[in-house]
Chains A and B, each alone.
Chain A
């Protein structure tokens, strides 16, 4: 079980790297938002991996529920900003 924890920890770090690459390399605002969602998913997996190694049960579940709720809020706010940007510029590409 501890091996599984370290393996998923490594996977989450790789996913963070993929998301970071997407944020830095892309100039499309929606793709930047989606890349940040990759990092969010990776960080939640990371939290559970570390909790498995440390033997925690309730704290990671509660923290992740709050994180997912705030992520929902963040996506809606970010999408509203993207819509306003699209109305002004007529494009989804960042200069």
Chain B
């Protein structure tokens, strides 16, 4: 009764932001990189849910794409490919200033974008139309689409070459 759609969005955002942070921290801390790769799948799913949660009528089409292509292909490829290696355990070696460097970068990024976006008052995002999306993709962005297809084709050739090498 008291659960409005905005409150529900905030609750979903809170849950999946915690999931994404835990998954990210586990990736950089786990001693076995296979489990880190599996954790990347959880991070990908959490990011897809967060994107859909931002504007469900507009961005959920991309969320489906993210789960299908990123989690379903990239992360599974990474996880399966790790059976090639004998020793997947890592030596824990920490460089002292790395935490400081990461924190300084985060603060600088945060300040830059908060000040950059402070003038925008925010507008409602209209729902997405698949027809307009396809038209935009095939008229304004046809060249990057061709480049992407060629890149994926060369990757396929490279994977075959690598698999056939003794």
Contacts and interface: CB of A to CB of B under 8 A. Distances in A.
Interface of A: 1-2, 4-11, 13-22, 24-28, 30-31, 33-35, 37-38, 41-42, 44-45, 48-58, 60-62, 64-66, 68-73, 75-77, 79-80, 83, 86, 91-93
Nearest to A28: B90
Contacts of A58: 128, 132-133, 136
Interface of chain B: mostly helix, strand, loop or mixed = helix
Interface of B: 6, 9-10, 13, 17, 20-21, 24-25, 27-28, 33, 36-37, 40, 43-44, 47, 50-51, 53-55, 58-59, 61-62, 65-66, 69-70, 73-74, 77-78, 81-82, 84-85, 87-88, 90-91, 93-95, 98-99, 101-103, 105-106, 109-110, 113-114, 117, 120, 122-126, 128, 132-133, 136-137, 141, 144-145, 148, 151-152, 154-155, 158-159, 162
Contacts of B44: 41
A15 B21 contact: yes
B33 to A, nearest CB: 4
B113 A19 contact: no
Contacts of A17: 102-103, 105-106
Q: Which of A52, A54, A60 counts the most B-chain CB atoms under 10 A from its CB? A: A52
A70 B148 CA distance: 7
A45 B51 contact: yes
Nearest to B58: A57
Interface of chain A: mostly helix, strand, loop or mixed = helix
A53 B122 contact: yes
B137 A62 contact: yes
Given A6-B114, A38-B40, A75-B74, 4 more contacts: A9-B114, A25-B99, A48-B59, A55-B125
